[in-house]
Amino acid sequence: MKLYRLTFGAAAAMLLASGPAFGQATAPVAAPEARAASGTMLSIDQLYQPRSLIGTTPEGYAWSADGRQLLFLWNDEGYSFRDLWVYSLDSGERTRLTSLGREADPKSERRGISEALFLGNDRIAFVVDGNLHIREADGASVQVETDKRAIRRLSLSPDGQTLAFVSGNPVDPRNRVTQGGILWTRDAAAPGGNAARRLVGNDDPKIYVSDYHWSSDGRAIAFEESDDRAMPERDIYYYAKGELQNNRVIRAFPGDETSRTRIGLIALGEAAPRYFERPDPLHHLWGFGLSQDGRRLFVNSSDLEVKDHIVYVFDTQTGKRETFYRERDPKHIRPDWKVAWAPGDRGLVILTDRDGFGHLYHKPSAGAAPRRITRGEWEIESFEVDASNNRIYFVANESALPERQLYRVAMGGGAVERVSPATPGTHTPVWSPDYSRAASFFTNDTTPPELLVIDPATPAQAKQVTRSPQPEFDRQTWAKVSYVEFPSHVDGTKLIGRLSVPADFDPSRRYPLIVGSVYSDAVRNQWGGRRAHPTWGLDQYFVARGYLVLNVNIRGSWGQGRKHTQAQLNSYGETDINDLESGVRHLVSKGYVDPSRVGLWGSSYGGLMTIMSLAKKPGVYAAGIAGAPATNVWHAYPSQMWIMGPPDGRDMPARYEAQSPLYQVQGVRDPLMIIHGTRDPVVLYSDTVALTEKMIANEQMFELVTLPGASHSWATDNLPQTRFAFRKMVDFFNLHLKPER
């Protein structure tokens, strides 16, 4: 794999779709000497504001049936409320279709329209605030299905006749809505009113449809039904708004009963569905799909610890089940498996790392050996089968570990062809119905996310549809990002890190270093490093003030193969924190990091690594910040058993205690700050209380920042909370790491 460095110039070259092709510059950018020498001097409050400096990410792509128009959700002024836009391949123009965001208060931080799709005849269905609307051909919009709430997962049947969607379950005494709900269909040509037919659903809010797929003829729907009735409910009490609150959630711990799932099939004219039972309904379900002729249904599944990968195929008429594919590996920890029908229903295409790296295989029948389609020391993240042209399109890091580029390959194998532009970065595609175009969510280290439309025959001529950053963005000097390679100081394994340095970086100087935010899969060539984290501005703030910022592709992360991943088995707070230390050692050895001024931070699992690093490696870090830290793996989600193992065996409880900061915290000697929201259902605030009780009993000093009513995503709940928490972090690191600016 190739390593490289990007400079700011790539961002300046992004263009509007109506202009030249992607990669050609349109207007000059302010000369570097006109900007601050070290980087942006914007404050935390200026970096995080209602009108985002980096703009609003374009989301929710949906193609018209003929592939000539593309819907997307966006705000061209940088506010959070996304309106409905359309891009025409024929004219090369984008057009705003709704202006609801102009009526919204920016301080409310409303997200706006959440999804949309074409209904045909210039009509569009879209969802805003959980309500279904239809935009008619004349531009008028009307709310429909007014008796339903939390509507989502819109899908039009392949014949264009029927619209399906999921809504929240009926109101229950606790006024809760589950993640799933009831599956409805309605005539796509129907006007307003409550015209939907209840297809599948249960009045018990703990039984719900969580996913569904149309048959190719549009006459039936296969669906996934989840049943949480046996799972425990937990009361999370907290004080907010002057009174006691209760966030009651369905929440299992390792060893508890988990959700039961099953796959059903219902024809639009039938009164009741048929169900296809697996041997163990508690096993994970990773996907399912009907064959083109509708006669067979695959179910991609595994055991709870993801050590036993099984793909079943059912006869949809008789319900007969066969084990089509099976592989067991007692060291496996990542369920990155994906499955699809091969062209002509000639068996299955399976994405698996069975031979060391995640690649594609064709298995024509249950008795046939899998035939390898792709190979190499790189991995495939996702794929789609273009059955009409007998080939496969996929997303992979063949070009470099941190990248996600687009490729295609013939079903028979052979040469792999890249079909995304030469620009390094990350693509997330939505393909047109005939695979002649990809609508790609594109970003890289110097470019905030934008919408590109790519013709795989001429990828260099990709069109940029959006320009999201606000004018102030181009007037700033941003961090330089590069990728560094170094060996593990424990076992020599090749590790890769993402390093951000000031624009006037001087390798002869010694800088303070912040490692983080630490997590798995944290080394990506995209703006801010991690799409789900809003820390892009925090990182830029630190770098501009004279810090270096490093992230490491720790063991357990995707992209470097099965051997790299499996080293993390039963090793929370051990192998992973050794990898982080290896990154620190590497930069110290280069001479430009002051070993006495190294900080570390992360949230959730990253908080676990932070506390474990301080506990097990005193003196390596001058300070650490743990956000919503997972301090007790006994209270993790059962899915974490992939790594930490089941809650039984001769090595228990020692195995769980060795992976829990709660039982290791006595080793902490260096400054620690904990940030945690009291409403958090993922990592319980009570676990932080238990940890701090231990530290107080041990007379260990720490700082606790409590966020009343905050969720697990404490950095994204609302802007005032984000700014408050980030300012606390800045003050803490400045105190202990003493930057020179």
Q: Is the confidence at residue 708, as pLDDT, over 70?
A: yes
Cβ atoms of 698 and 691 within 8 Å: the answer is: no
What is the per-residue pLDDT for 530? Answer: 76
Note the pLDDT of residue 169. Answer: 60
User: Could you give the CA distance from residue 379 to residue 359 in angstroms, rounded to a whole number?
Assistant: 6
Residue 203, pLDDT score: 86
| Local confidence band at 6 (pLDDT 50, 70, 90 cut-offs) | very low
Q: Which amino acid is at 357?
A: F
| pLDDT, mean of residues 448-469 | 97
Is there a contact between 669 and 614 (Cβ–Cβ < 8 Å)? yes
Is residue 103 very low, low, confident or very high in pLDDT (cuts 50, 70, 90)? confident
What's the whole-number average pLDDT of the chain?
Answer: 92
Which pLDDT band, with edges at 50, 70 and 90, does 691 fall under?
very high
The string of pLDDT tens digits covering residues 509-521 is 999 999 999 999 9
**Spatial CB neighbours of 551, under 8 Å, sequence gap ≥ 6:** 497, 498, 515, 516, 517, 518, 522, 523, 529
pLDDT value at 32 more than 50: no
What's the pLDDT at 532? 66
Contact predicate 604/629, CB 8 Å: yes
| Nearest alpha-carbon partner for 331 in 566, 640, 664 | 566
Enter the tokens of residue 353.
Answer: 């790392």
Among 423, 402, 421, smallest CA distance to 526 is for: 402
- Rounded Cα distance between 22 and 672, Å, is 46
pLDDT at residue 21 tops 60: no
The mean per-residue pLDDT over the stretch 460-488 comes to 96
Name which of 41, 35, 730, 405 is nearest 739 in CA terms. 730
pLDDT of 104 reads 87
Within 10 angstroms of residue 619's Cβ, the number of other Cβ atoms is 11
Phi first, then psi, for residue 714 (nearest 5°) are: -60, -25
Residue 37 has pLDDT above 80, yes or no: no
**250 DSSP β-pair partners:** 233
Over residues 181-194, mean pLDDT: 92
Residue 657 class from Cβ within 10 Å (0-12 exposed, 13-18 middle, 19+ buried)? Answer: middle
Query: CB of 734 within 8 A of CB of 741?
Result: no
DSSP characters over 697-733: HTT---EEEEETT--S-TTTS-HHHHHHHHHHHHHHH
The radius of gyration computed from the CA coordinates of the chain, to the nearest angstrom, equals 26
Name the β-bridge partners of 707. Answer: 677
Q: Phi first, then psi: give them for residue 295, nearest 5 degrees.
A: -90, -15
Query: What's the pLDDT at 292?
Result: 97
User: What is the per-residue pLDDT for 41?
Assistant: 87
- Assess whether pLDDT exceeds 60 at residue 667: yes
- Assess whether pLDDT exceeds 60 at residue 174: no
Contact by Cβ (8 Å): 374, 365: no
pLDDT of residue 106: 87
Q: Token digits for 144?
A: 């429909």
Between residues 577 and 194, the one the model is more confident about:
577
Long-range contacts of 68-71 (CB under 8 A, 24+ apart): 69/118, 70/432, 70/439, 70/453, 70/465, 71/116, 71/117, 71/118, 71/124
Three-state DSSP at 124 gives strand
* Residue 36 pLDDT exceeds 90: no
Going from the C-alpha of 44 to that of each of 186, 599, 617, the distances in angstroms are 47, 19, 31
**pLDDT average, residue stretch 91-99:** 97
Q: What is the pLDDT of residue 740?
A: 83
pLDDT of residue 669: 97
CA–CA separation, 263 and 199 (whole Å) = 14
Say whether pLDDT at 177 is over 80. Answer: no
Looking at the DSSP assignment, which residues form a beta bridge with residue 238? 245
Q: Which of 360, 564, 529, 397 is nearest to 1 (CA)?
A: 397
Pick 180 or 179 by higher pLDDT.
180
Tens of pLDDT, residues 478-503: 999 999 999 999 999 999 999 999 99
* 3-state secondary structure (DSSP) of residue 64: coil
Residue 399 has pLDDT above 60, yes or no: yes
Average pLDDT on 289-301 reads 98
Q: 716 by DSSP, 3-state: which?
A: coil
